[in-house]
Amino acid sequence: MSYLMGIDVGTTGTRCIIVDQEGHVIAGATGDHAPISSPQPLWAEQDPEDWWKATTTAIRQALALAHIDGAAIQGIGLSGQMHGVVLLDKDHKVLRPSLIWCDQRSQAQCDWIHQKVGYERTIQLTCNPALTGFSAPKLLWVRDNEPEVFAKAHTFLLPKDYIRFRLTGTFASEVSDASGTTLFDVANRRWSVEMFKELDLDPGLVPPVYESPIASAHISDIAARETGLKPGTPVVGGGGDQAAGGVGNGIVQPGIVSSTIGTSGVVFAFSEKPVLDPKGRVHTFCHAVPGKWHIMGVTQGAGLSLRWFRDNFGNVEMQTAFLTGGDSYDLLNKEAARAPAGSEGLIFLPYMMGERTPHLDPNAKGVFFGLTGRHQRFHVIRAILEGVAYSLRDSFEIFKEMGVPVRQVRASGGGGRSELWRQIQADVFGREIVTINATEGPAYGVALLAGVGTGVWASVEEACQATIRVVTRQKPIKANAATYDTFYPTYRALYGALKPHFDRVTELVI
């Protein structure tokens, strides 16, 4: 029997899963990454070699757990964290650590792009404004601040595409991940000649782009020896983690939307055409479904906020989980459930890594507002869960302005596994939240794409229809929804009141 493999190069680790041709996950393994390096405030870097080591570990472990060898893998799909910049020299050696998606150092380069190209024209050319999280501003930061490094740059790759190169020896990308570079003509699904010209960047830096299910490379002999895979196994284009997660969640038709809480949080909607937000608050990217697009709003510090609390104030939960074999996040959720909806007026702004939707502000900071002597630890934990849900609601409000239909919301990611966090989302959004049988997100999505690319299914839509179904439903609790509707306007007003102070604090610490 033949199987499909999905590989997702995430922020904290690389996940590899093996799927049979009916869509069942038969094995999965994760190779851990070293913690994000932050040499200065707003900086976030990782070593691409670390991704490769994690990938080889995950592949070998997944094959062992599935009790199969690499020859049984019919096709492979790749996903990964978007926007990261990997620079290679002419000998294909990495020149510096990758500036990853949450790196916020390039505001000056974003401002320069908008001045040089024009804010509205940048959106017209790429469907999005230039943001610090995106790739082109990072490239320009290297050019401006490390000219000796940039002078040696021969190739720019996104994280998953660097892993593709290590697996296959081939330089290639695909339309969904390329959409987040500020160098891609999203509407026409090709690199933007105009943006390269305006920014004085060499188009030769970037690889060819393909539609996501297309087999764009094959496993090399060298990689086969390192991973246990079979030489010549096809590797499809795959997708950026959000588009791949969209496929893995079955977001391949209008009206079905996902709310994903991982390190970041994403509200993701399918679109038949490239619909734009003229204010640039949400992103319009190519979908991993050929000829389709997606619209998404992003909360930079979603699950990251809860992890920050756990790592700094959750020693009891972590020790208990270690001793019992439980999950520290489950224990935090039980603690949060002790607090009522609204956390008795304690409101959390989850801007711990700046913010994208709706503020596009790298200087935004995390805030607890309304703290009183009555509040206890469980209020603080619940306020974090609620603050992330408020931030995700901002995206739904923008979708409403844009006329994007929403008839079903599918919860996924680590936050989607929490019954409490799902209920908070249902109450804050005022919508039913469902979960599906597929829980592997991006890795599952690219495994399905590999199946389409190798003929298991005729289309991405057919693959999702054959494998994905709803398994749980949670409706809003009316009293809780009313409470959140009361507090949400205050949540929204806090950013405007604090923005000048966010900017000033940034000036003081940098």
CATH pick for 303-435+477-509 out of 3.30.420.40, 3.40.50.880, 3.40.50.10490, 3.40.50.300:
3.30.420.40
Q: Is the pLDDT of residue 114 over 90?
A: yes
Q: Quick one: what percent of the chain has pLDDT higher than 90? A: 94
The pLDDT tens digits of the residues spanning 465-506 come to 999 999 999 999 999 999 999 999 999 999 999 999 999 998
User: pLDDT class for 278, splitting at 50, 70, 90?
Assistant: confident
Average pLDDT, the chain: 96
Percent of the chain past pLDDT 70, that is, above it, reads: 100
Confidence (pLDDT) at 41 = 85
- pLDDT score, position 57: 98
Between CA 460 and CA 289 the distance in angstroms is 6
Give the span between the Cα atoms of 436 and 419, in whole angstroms.
13
Query: C-alpha angle with apex 103: 279 to 125, nearest 5 degrees?
Result: 35
Kindly report, residue by residue over 117-152, the tens digit of the pLDDT. Answer: 999 999 999 999 999 989 999 999 999 999 999 999
Q: Domain boundaries in the chain?
A: 3-249, 303-435+477-509
Assess whether pLDDT exceeds 80 at residue 219.
Answer: yes
pLDDT tens digit string along 379-435? 999 999 999 999 999 999 999 999 999 999 999 988 999 999 999 999 999 999 999
pTM: 0.90
The CATH-assigned architecture of domain 3-249 is 2-Layer Sandwich (3.30)
Contact 255, 408 (CB under 8 A): yes
**Predicted local confidence at residue 159, as pLDDT:** 98
Sign of CA dihedral 337, 338, 342, 346: negative
pLDDT tens digit sequence for 83-107: 999 999 999 999 999 999 989 899 9
Q: Are strands 173-174 and 209-210 parallel, antiparallel or unpaired?
A: parallel
Amino acid of residue 250: G
Catalytic pick from 103, 241, 394, 427? 241
Strand, coil or helix: 407:
strand
Binning pLDDT at 50, 70 and 90, where does residue 360 land?
Answer: confident
Left, alpha or beta for 138 (phi > 0: left; psi -120 to 50: alpha)?
alpha
Please give the pLDDT value at position 413: 87
* Predicted local distance difference test score (pLDDT) of residue 200: 98
Establish whether 47 is a catalytic residue: no
